[in-house]
Structure 1
Amino acid sequence: MKIHILESADQSGLEAAREGARLINAAIAVKGEARIVLSTGASQFEFLKHFVKMDVAWDKVEMFHLDEYVGLPETHPASFRKYLKERFLQYVDVRKYWLVDGEGNLNEALDQLNEEISKAPIDVALIGIGENAHIAFNDPPADFDDERPFKIVELSDTCKMQQVGEGWFATVEDVPKQAISMSVQQILKSLNVISVVPRQAKAQAIRDTLQNRVDVNVPATVMKTHANWSLYLDKHSSSLVYEWC
């Protein structure tokens, strides 16, 4: 585990983008291609702003993403497909991408995602951490043992409240009850994981993640078992770390 504490969310996003680009280019140099996973949400704004400007052979990159709400149309402001098209795909021309579709036949969508992501390792995964320490939509108590790459999960009330707090939905009742999410096991299979977690709202989750042993009730603690996990914080999200260090 490597922890990087920067002054601001912008600096944290920039340094994480540089490291992500370095790892992708290293994979391309060895294999001729790279496979990546991207996360979404307000915490990734600064990272993606810088990431799309990095010197990367994007035409050799295949992209997956972490999760999507069940039943939410792509036109909705909270749609993660919409998010990635607007903040990533319109700026870079990747070789191939797989967006999680929570509409239509969910079994077919899951089968295709699980087949495609299982074809080769993920070189670089960008995995955010939620206010309740979830990774992807694996809310506490998270299932650390499920081997399915993607699955349907129930969203907790704390997760829904975060989505409202970030302005994606007007009320908790508006947040879908389910999502398609990458599993914990699939995340851990990634060769390199980068977590960009800025802002004060994430400070308690960061403290809980770093202070506690691996615990299903603090899902992000499992990331400490990954050999190549880099955590990028700003002065706000790291503000409670010093209380116990």
Structure 2
Amino acid sequence: MNQSIVSQMEVWHYPSRKELGKSVAEGVASCMKTLLTQKETISVAFASAPSQNEFLDALRADTSIQWGRIVCFHLDEYIGLSEEASQSFSNFLREKLFNLRVPKQFHAINGMNNSADECERYSQLLQAHPLDIACIGIGENGHIAFNDPHTADFKDPLAVKVVKLDEASRMQQVHDDCFETYEQVPSEAVTLTIPTILSASLIFCTVPGKRKRDAVRKTLYGPIDVQCPASLLRQAKCFKIYLDDESYSTVLEDL
């Protein structure tokens, strides 16, 4: 394990995805437990993607977390996809975590509802339960949640919004084996906006895999610009990014 500081961000680097996932889970669990000594309930948002598998597996294995005092959200959801669909992000989190570790509440985004109404409903829930912790990833195009470069707004006035996904985001779902073809990937989604994500007191970012190398480099060292939405994470209150050998190698080359 190697740890460094880049622009006030903690960068943690591990040889394998398993070691990375275990470390993220330990960090998140520790922060949850500390916060629960200070507050009756806390609010945590989770990303839903294969990149989070090892982290969620390790977090689920920690039986000392008081899930009954934790209100949970997720970052985004496809429009037009039911919660029962295998590709649904809320379904992913139930299978990976919440079916076995039952939180006080898990507020799922309903992709089948009227989109404007759903954004308003979810915004009100987030207002009632401001995020203490956000557990996120970074997309191949530098997106966080589904804030792709063409829709990312660093000063977004909305808490939750509807977005049209760009080609890179939709292709990533194919690369991740979530869909067989590009055409099967929904073209629109509901997402937490960038200001909502950055409002969290603590952000843990899990980014394994060689396909994320360029996005990681831009996040850590590129200009803070909507062309890499994740670059704004350098201004988060407290941000920790966890990388494996595949996502970390070449990060420091040619700078």
TM-score by length of 1: 0.97
Deviations 1:49-74 (A, max 9, x none): 00112221111000010000000122
RMSD of aligned alpha carbons: 1.1
Instruction: Quote the residue 1:165 is aligned against.
Output: 175
Deviations 1:112-169 (A, max 9, x none): 1110101242111001100111000000132111121111001000111100111111
Give the whole-Å Cα distance in 1 for the aligned partners of 2:35 and 2:75.
20
Q: Give the alignment of 1:88-167 within 5 angstroms.
A: 88-141=97-150, 142-167=152-177
1:25 aligns with 2:33: yes
Shift of 1:192: 0.3
Q: Give the alignment of 1:11-50 within 5 angstroms.
A: 11-50=19-58
Give the whole-Å Cα distance in 2 for the aligned partners of 1:176 and 1:66.
16
Contact 2:161 2:193 in 1 (8 A): yes
Structure 1: which 4+ aligned runs deviate by more than 6 Å?
A: none
2:246 counterpart SS class: coil
* Paired residue type of 2:77: E
Instruction: Quote the residue 2:203 is aligned against.
Output: 193
Instruction: Quote the residue 2:188 is aligned against.
Output: 178
Stretches of structure 1 that go unaligned for 5 or more consecutive residues are: none
Shift of 1:106: 2.1
Instruction: Quote the residue 1:231 is aligned against.
Output: 241
Shift of 1:244: 4.0
Instruction: Quote the residue 1:7 is aligned against.
Output: 15
* Paired residue type of 1:242: L
2:37 counterpart SS class: helix
Instruction: Quote the residue 1:59 is aligned against.
Output: 68
Give the whole-Å Cα distance in 2 for the aligned partners of 1:110 and 1:126.
20
Stretches of structure 2 that go unaligned for 5 or more consecutive residues are: 1-8
Instruction: Quote the residue 1:68 is aligned against.
Output: 77
Contact 1:210 1:221 in 2 (8 A): yes
Give the whole-Å Cα distance in 2 for the aligned partners of 1:52 and 1:149.
28
2:33 counterpart SS class: helix
Contact 1:147 1:186 in 2 (8 A): no
Shift of 1:107: 2.5
Give the whole-Å Cα distance in 2 for the aligned partners of 1:10 and 1:131.
21
